[in-house]
Structure 1
Amino acid sequence: MRCHLCLKLSWQPLCKTCLSTFLTPTPAFRILKDGLRVYSFYRYSDIAPLLHTKHTFVGAKIFAQLGRHTFYEFLKTFELPKGIYALPIDDHIRHGYSHSAILAKATKPYLTPLYGSLRAQNHKSYSGKSRAFREANKRDFRITCKEGMDVILIDDIITTGSTLKEAHKALQELGVHVLFALVLADAKEG
């Protein structure tokens, strides 16, 4: 196999050299209007080609590597109590696998992934859509979490923040405590 970035021979889709140079995470955060803190590790423009692999076979491996390289390493720096769940946003399998579920799996053993508990009932594509489109077409989440749970939301990209805000609000209404969110990339540049 060859590295997806430098094309050198590699056992993984992303070689160790590229992970330690081009893909060195630069953790950042933004706070949404509802108070949710969202940690990101890359600017969208820096890893867009990798994110666009999410509906391909190699994308599953790339997302697993990026999840371990970012989420796992980030969570190692905390002393988190037991009983916190990684809650992937809409981890329904539509194209062979769920990229948000793969990212949630990368949080083990620091968090316990909670699959199938935050599913969108609206299956419209939000990719490249405006804020107005996103607000007019809510995700309408179906939630199966229990009241009092502590969760960290997991997704691949934050653009306008509308999906995370909607999930946060729906979870709060059920008495679920959202500590913060983790995403690979932030599309808001600057």
Structure 2
Amino acid sequence: MRCHLCSNLSWQLLCKNCLQTILAPTPAFRILENGLKVYSFYSYSDIAPLLHTKHTYVGAKIFAQLGKHTFFEFLKTFSLPKGIYAIPIDDHVRHGYSHSAILAKATQPFLTPLYGSLRAQNHESYSGKSKAYRQANKRDFIFTCNDKIDAILIDDIVTTGSTLEEAYETLKGHGVNVLFALVLADAKEI
């Protein structure tokens, strides 16, 4: 097979050379208005073509590689106690798989994924929409797991932060202690 970026022969869709050079993560964070700390590893514009593969078959493999390359490696640097959960945001299966569930799987063995626990009732597309639109058309999350747990939110992109803020508030309402959120990319231009 050939690397999705450089077209060199590779055993994976993203070759080791591209992962170490073009896709070398630059961890950063921002704090949302409600106080949630969100760690990201790339600027959205740097990996947009890879993020857009989430609607294709190869996207599952690309997201798995990016999750291992970023989330897994990042979590190795922490001394997290056992019993912390990874909660993927709205991991409903669309297009054959859930990209947020794939990213949550990459957090193992450091975290335990809670698949299907945080689901949006509103399936409105937020792509390219303003923060005002996103706030007027909330996701209306429901949480279906045990209360009083420690968790880390998982998603692919943070744009305005409204989805993560709403997920955080929903979980907080159930007594969940959300430590922080992990996303691949931050779309906020500095």
What's the TM-score bracket when you normalise by the shorter of the two chains?
Answer: over 0.9
Aligned match of 1:52 = 52
Deviation per residue, 1:159-186 (Å, 9 max, x gap): 0000000000011011111000000000
Distance 2:90 2:137 in 1: 15
1:149 is matched with which residue? 149
How far did residue 135 of structure 1 move?
A: 0.7
Separation in structure 2 between the aligned mates of residue 26 and residue 131 of structure 1, nearest angstrom: 26
Offset at residue 75 of structure 1 (A): 0.1
Q: Which string of whole-angstrom CA distances, capped at 9 and with x for unpartnered residues, describes residues 115-160 of structure 1?
A: 0000000011111111111011100001012121000000000000
- Identify unmatched segments of 5+ residues in structure 2: none
TM-score by length of 1: 0.99
Find the aligned partners of 2:182 and 2:11 in 1 and give their Cα distance. Answer: 27
How far apart are the structure 1 equivalents of 2:23 and 2:169? Answer: 32
RMSD: 0.5
When the two structures are aligned, how many residues end up with a matched partner? 190
Instruction: Check if 1:74 corresponds to 2:81.
Output: no
1:119 corresponds to which residue? 119
SS of structure 2 residue aligned to 1:25: coil
1:139 match: 139
In structure 1, how many angstroms separate the alpha carbons of the residues matched to 2:168 and 2:121? 16
Looking at structure 2, the residues matched to 12 and 31 of structure 1 have their Cα atoms a distance apart, in angstroms, of 34
> 1:31-81 deviations in whole A, cap 9, x for unaligned?
011110000000000000000000101000000000000000000001100
* Match of residue 40 from structure 1: 40
- SS of the equivalent of 2:78 reads coil
Q: Tell me the equivalent position of 1:61.
A: 61
Equivalent residue, structure 1, for 2:109: 109
Work out the CA distance in 1 between the residues paired with 2:9 and 2:35: 44
Q: Deviations over 1:76-126 (max 9, x none)?
A: 001100000000000000110000000000000000000000000001111
- SS of 2:38's equivalent in the other structure is strand
The amino acid across from 1:113 in the alignment is P
Quote the Cα distance in structure 2 between the aligned partners of 1:151 and 1:140.
19
Q: What is the SS of the residue equivalent to 1:4?
A: coil
Unaligned runs of 5+ in 1: none
| Residue 178 (structure 2) aligns with | 178
